[in-house]
Each structure stands twice: as structure tokens, then as C-alpha cells.
Amino acid sequence: MRNKLLAGVAATAMTLGAGTALADNMGGNIIVTYKDDVSTLDPAIGYDWQNWSMIKSLFDGLMDYKPGTTELVPDLAESYTISDDGLVYTFKLKPGVKFHNGRELVAADVKYTLDRVVNPETQSPGAGFFAAIDGFDAASAGEAEGLSGVNAVDDQTVEITLSRPDATFLHVMALNFAHVVPKEVVEEHGQDFGKHPVGTGAYEMTDWTLGQHVIFSRFDDYHVEGLPKLDQITFEVGQEPIVALLRLERGEIDIAGDGVPPAKFLEVTGNPEYDGSIVEGSQLHTGYITMNTQMAPFDNLKVRQAVNMAINKDRIVRIINGRAVPANQPLPPLMPGYDENYEGFKFDPDAAKALLAEAGFADGFTTELYVANTDPQPRIAQAIQQDLSNIGIKAEIKSLAQANVIAAGGEKDQAPMIWSGGMAWIADFPDPSNFYGPILGCGGAVPGGWNWAWYCNPELDKRAIAADAMADPSQAEARIEEWKKIFTEIQDEAPWVPVFNEQRFTIRSKRLAGPEGIFVDPVHIPVHYDHVYISEGN
């Protein structure tokens, strides 16, 4: 299962409803713990590792992936066709699909969903994924009511016209942002839809007690025969990872959703009692420090280059017990487009000091470093703080709940620096473009977006669009070469300090580990943050 590509994405949270094998007679309930409460279950909004995986249980899109592979397959779509010029996609919907409120899905729901995601009033961090659809510019600017390129031909047919060929478009249709929502429920709850989610997924939300738990229950009218096999999933929140591990040892929970606590990593992985309970996988992941290029002094290239040279990445890797390799560019090594010959910025504090002096900061400066407050992230932030102090930069650590760090990064003038750990980028799909648009492209440098460096290079944006328009299979190699150049040119401008490419480990109860119970699949491709996909496919 873990070939070179599949090993690119792995796991520490969970999604239920479409994936690996359960015993045929499996039912009952499982309990998953998290430290933080859930921020939202709205597929247009949710974009952190925790809600992203939960949303996959509640909603479906036109496309999905065959479990454990990169193979795209129809989901809510029964079939699809693509025009010869690669611009028109026609999807036939699977008949009889129902929302959790009992209403049948129709093509107008797909159009409403896509129109809503790109509407600026929604403030979806995923809006930029849909830029290839005809009419995107006008719709995303609030100058048109919806996407002119999306048309509900009849109740069972959706036609989507692109303004340019897009080699990633079917991947985009498998993202959570494209998961279909019912207009009447969204309009009933408005901005609170994320607390009252209704989709077509294998599970429906039946209880959400803030600060305590969220409960998903089997949706009996799910459109995939024989699924789901579990009756209920309870997500308990407010559980420190160390406490969750103790509870798992006592058999009180089934999955510690935040993974193996770093302080316990060596103890747990070296304990034979955990044989069969630990799920390990490499990832299409990069952990990085962002520098807000719109805030002084990080609007100065030499300052950003100096920070890159100041960070001792080897020491940071040791803090997490060697569960990663140092990074020198945005793309991880397993991602197509990674440049093996690129050297990046070497660790050289003396050269960093010289660059600061050239930039006019011979005496350094004071700034803030935002970080999620779950271990080991504050400890990593302290290491970064020490490295910066060694070249004269005094960084005050702002240790906050993950949701608050994300919110600060999405504001143009709030977070000068962010250590992305716990929120670091894992590919939504296995293509280099996914490491550009949301986190380094101009489309992600918007309020609520994930381009926390607020880096925008219009010329590179044009080249990125041109690369994704190389949809013909004969252009595949040239397309990857262009992406390779784009990413190394970005790193030369140093909006990030790429720190490491991480491996992930999660831990499950014994009843989920063996052939008689649930098998937890560590590899599921369409993930943003660390999912263990509890897959229930046939």
C-alpha cells in the first residue's frame, strides 16, 4: 500500500464513511479525543486538520478517491465526460441521493454550492481553487451572482465550463470545498451553518455540546450500499494528548486524535505493548515559518533571507525525536516538482547577522511569533526564538489555540511571523499546484486565507496558471519542470523558512488494530491535515 506516492500522505486524525475494511458484522460506537474544540463543520469554511477530516464524514462531492490510492472516482456523480478541448465537464448525478434532512440531491444544489464557495461574503479559504471556472473573477469580486460557468442542465446533470484547461480540476471537485450543501439549510442558519451541518455523507451530526463532544450517527439513507458500518462516533474535546494516551491504555477511548504525544514518543514506540496499535506514514508535508511580507521589517528581502539562515533545523528535528527531515524548499521530497539540486539557505548565523546589517538592522529588531499551544509547538517556537535572538531579533511568542493562530494569519496586519506546526501544509491532492495557490499564490493572500506570508507575485501567478493549463498528458513532464522553477524562485524570495518534512504517527485501541476489528488506514490521499482515514469500503 505504501508505494512512493501513497507514502506521501498519512495520518493522525480520522474520517469515517468511505475507505478500508471493517469486519462485516462490525457496528457499535467508537470514541475519538481531541485537545481543541471543533471550529466549524461547514465544508466551505473548515480548513484545519481536525474539522477537515470530520467534514468528510458528513458531506460528499462529485468526485472522491478510491481508498488508499490517488485514483479519482465518481462519488455523487454517477459518471462524467470531458470535451475534446478540455474546457467542458459534464457530470451525471447518481439518482436517489438524499441529504440528511430527507430531500433528494439535484443539480441546482451543486451549482449553489460552488457559487457559495466563491462568493466573497462566504470568506471561504478555498475559493481560489475554483479560479479556472468561467466567471470566477466576476463572482469572486462580488460583481456577479454566481459562476457563469456552472449550469444545472436538468435535475441530474451539471455542466461546468472552464476559462482555461486545468490539469487539477477533477482533484478540485474532490476537495471538501466542493462538497455539496442544501441551500435551504444554509439560508436557515446563515453563518451558523457550520454548527448545524446537513450533507449527504455516511454520518449525520446528532449532537454538539460545545466544549464537551460532537456526536455523529449512522445515516441510514446513505447512497453507498452497506455503509456506514459503525453506528456512532463520539468526538470528545478538551482532552490533553497525554491524558488521551492514558485513557486509551485503559480502554476508555479508541483513537487519540492528536496523535502520539511528543514527550511520550520514544516510550510508546519502544513499548511492545503498542505493537499493532501505532500507525506510521510519511506525508506530503512541509512545516514552515511564515514572514508577513506586507509588514515591516519582513517586507525587506534581506531580512527574510537572514531569518532563513538563522534557523537551526537539525536542532528542531531533534526536539521531535527525529520524526522529520530538514526542509530547504516549500515542496516536500515526495511531491512531483521537488528540486533535488536546490540548496536553499544554509544555517549560517554570521551571514544572517551581516544581512541584517545590510538591511539597516545591525542592532536587530523586536517582533512576534505566533504558535499553536499544543505540545511540541511551543517548544519548537522557543527554539526558533533562541535562534532569532542569536542574530539580534527579539521575538515574543504568542502561544494561542490553533483556531486563533489561523485567524491571525488570515488578517493582513496581525501576525508578523507564524510557526505553522500543527497547522502545517499537507497536500489536499498529490500535485505541486496545491502547494502554491492556497499558501503562496495571490489567491490565498486574502482575508481568511492561508497565505500567511501575504506573498503575492503576479508574474509567478501567471506562470502557475499557465502550468496548470498544460492538461495534455504529453505536457506532463514539462509542466512539472515549470513548477520546479516556480517553487525555487519563490524560495529565493524567502517568504517562508521551510523547516522540516514530517512523518506522522497515531495510536489506536487494540480493538481497532486487528483483523477482527476496524483497520485504520494510514494513507488516504485527499487530505489537508494528518488524517487517519477509518475506511469502510468493500
CB-based contacts of 36: which residues, under 8 Å, 6+ apart? Answer: 50, 237, 374, 401, 402, 403
Question: Which grid coordinates are listed for 164?
Answer: 482555461
Q: Is the dihedral of CA 329, 330, 333, 339 positive or negative?
A: negative
**Regions of the chain with pLDDT less than 50:** 1-25, 514-538
- Specify the length of the chain in residues: 538
Q: Is the dihedral of CA 384, 386, 392, 394 positive or negative?
A: positive
Question: How far is it, in rounded angstroms, from Cα 60 to Cα 180?
Answer: 6
Q: Is the dihedral of CA 116, 121, 124, 130 positive or negative?
A: positive
CB-side neighbour CA atoms (13 Å) of 470? 18
Which run of H or E residues covers position 42? none
Q: Do the beta carbons of residue 288 and residue 500 sit within 8 Å?
A: no
pLDDT at site 382: 98
Question: How far is it, in rounded angstroms, from Cα 132 to Cα 165?
Answer: 8
pLDDT digits (tens, 9 = 90+) for 367-378: 999 999 988 899
pLDDT at site 280: 64
Question: Which grid coordinates are listed for 188?
Answer: 436557515
pLDDT at site 516: 39
Instruction: Decide the pairing of beta strands 255-256 and 29-33.
Output: parallel
pLDDT digits (tens, 9 = 90+) for 79-114: 999 999 999 999 999 999 999 999 999 999 999 999
Question: How far is it, in rounded angstroms, from Cα 96 to Cα 506?
Answer: 37
Cβ neighbours, 10 Å, residue 432: 25
Q: What are phi and psi of 445, to 5 degrees?
A: -90, 65
Which run of H or E residues covers position 288? strand 285-291
Q: Is the dihedral of CA 385, 329, 455, 493 positive or negative?
A: positive
Question: How far is it, in rounded angstroms, from Cα 98 to Cα 103?
Answer: 5
Cβ neighbours, 10 Å, residue 354: 16
Q: Which amino acid is at 318?
A: R
Question: How far is it, in rounded angstroms, from Cα 531 to Cα 496?
Answer: 25
